Amino acid sequence: MKRTSFLFVGLATSLLLFVIAGCRGEKKDRQFSKLSSSETGINFRNDIRDNDSSNSFINEFGYMGGGVGIGDFNNDGKKDIFFTANQSSSRLYVNEGNLQFKDITEMAGLTTSVWATGVSIVDINNDGYDDIYICTYGKNLLRRSPNLLYINQKNLTFKEEAAAYGLADTSYSSQATFLDYDRDGDLDMFLVNYSFNNSNVNANNIVTKDLSGHSPANDRLYRNDGNGQGHPVFTDVSLEAGIKEDGYGLGVTVSDFNGDGWPDIYVANDFVSNDNLWQNNGDGTFTNRIATALRHQSYSSMGVDAADMNNDGLSDIVTLDMLPEYNERKKTSFFFMNYERYQAERFKGYEPQFMRNMLQHNNGNRFRGDT
């Protein structure tokens, strides 16, 4: 018995060592490799320095970076990188090939001194060169300032022209997306806002929705009215288009969700505010279909994207919640997710929402259900 036991253990040990050795011997091609700043020339840092009058505890925007924009700004076939910053200047790194980049911010005229909350790369004037639109919150979170639009001068320099284009918006915007919502051949702009109003200091307070269109947290739609001044000029048409619901917007995506040929808009909203699914009616107006399209949604949506996940020709939706990594943290974060609060939210007109990431599968005319 002892000999048999020792033999079994020995065979098992040998087999285990063989498997481990085999696994170690496998070499898989890595999809990505981390490169140092000395290799790439990119040494950007977005350092935040809090003080008594400007810090993340008294202003939610203190947690928000503005992200990164990718574009070929000199049309040389190589992708350049624009980094947004908060308390320092945003930076433009031009791609010199072989993953080597050069900081040309000052030379390009792109030095900024505002708290950037979002960036969009778009050829806004249809001249074949990428331009840069930056959402801002003002300097050091202390004041509002107009958003910035840098027009590409076709020689790796830029000129700020937001006011001339009608896009120097001073609301508390977090992100912009460009789309041809009226299908007239030029790009319009949808602007996502994120603002605390005086009547709702705690953004998770259950209050009646503001459907007036005048809330500081109301998103905005800008229509491109053409080249009347040698370049596009935009007009705020939010109210006439039916964009009249406040929210704490952190993400936006555009797709034709119902397959009628008109681009629709999905907005991911933070806190108690529901997400919005703006269905394009094809006549210059939109209707929020979130209540009929989804059974439930993420509670504090941090971001959103749309793609055809199962190749059925329909756009599905992914939303990301502020979901903790560990189960203990999940449970301690759910203290306010109770039946009484759920009922109170429903009574005030809010749709069902739960603290988790969600994949909304598009079932065509029956677009209802998280998978």
The structure's pTM equals: 0.86
Short-list 155, 160, 162, 157, CA closest to 176: 162
Q: To 10 degrees, the CA torsion angle through 309, 69, 216, 62?
A: 110
* Lowest mean per-residue pLDDT among 56-65, 132-141, 218-227: 56-65
Mean per-residue pLDDT for 123-136?
A: 97
Mean per-residue pLDDT for 32-36?
A: 93
State how far the Cα of 173 lies from the Cα of 222, in Å rounded to an integer: 13
Domain coordinates in residue numbering, the chain: 35-47+55-170, 171-371
For residues 315 and 306, the answer to whether their CB atoms sit within 8 Å is yes
> Where residue 371 falls among pLDDT bands split at 50, 70, 90?
low
Question: Three-state SS across 222-259?
Answer: EEECCCCCCCCCEEECHHHHCCCCECEEEEEEEECCCC
State how far the Cα of 194 lies from the Cα of 120, in Å rounded to an integer: 17
State how far the Cα of 171 lies from the Cα of 191, in Å rounded to an integer: 9
> Where residue 118 falls among pLDDT bands split at 50, 70, 90?
very high
For residues 102 and 181, the answer to whether their CB atoms sit within 8 Å is no
In tens, the pLDDT along 96-116 reads 999 999 999 999 999 999 999
In tens, the pLDDT along 4-15 reads 443 344 444 444
> Where residue 346 falls among pLDDT bands split at 50, 70, 90?
confident
Would the pLDDT of 210 be above 90? no
For residues 206 and 350, the answer to whether their CB atoms sit within 8 Å is yes
State how far the Cα of 285 lies from the Cα of 221, in Å rounded to an integer: 10
Side-chain half-sphere CA neighbours of 325 within 13 A: 0
Q: What is the pLDDT of residue 142?
A: 60
Q: Which residue has better confidence, 209 or 3?
A: 209
In tens, the pLDDT along 58-84 reads 776 677 789 999 999 999 999 999 999
> Where residue 250 falls among pLDDT bands split at 50, 70, 90?
very high
Q: What is the pLDDT of residue 52?
A: 80
Q: Which residue has better confidence, 139 or 211?
A: 211
Mean pLDDT comparison of 4-18, 28-42, 188-202, 317-331, highest-scoring range: 28-42
Would the pLDDT of 279 be above 90? yes
Would the pLDDT of 330 be above 70? yes
Q: Which residue has better confidence, 249 or 81?
A: 81
How crowded is residue 360: how many other Cβ atoms within 10 Å of its Cβ?
A: 28
For residues 59 and 53, the answer to whether their CB atoms sit within 8 Å is no
* Lowest mean per-residue pLDDT among 122-136, 148-162, 261-275: 261-275
* Lowest mean per-residue pLDDT among 79-88, 196-205, 246-255, 289-298: 196-205
State what percent of residues in the chain have pLDDT above 70: 85
Q: What is the pLDDT of residue 78?
A: 98
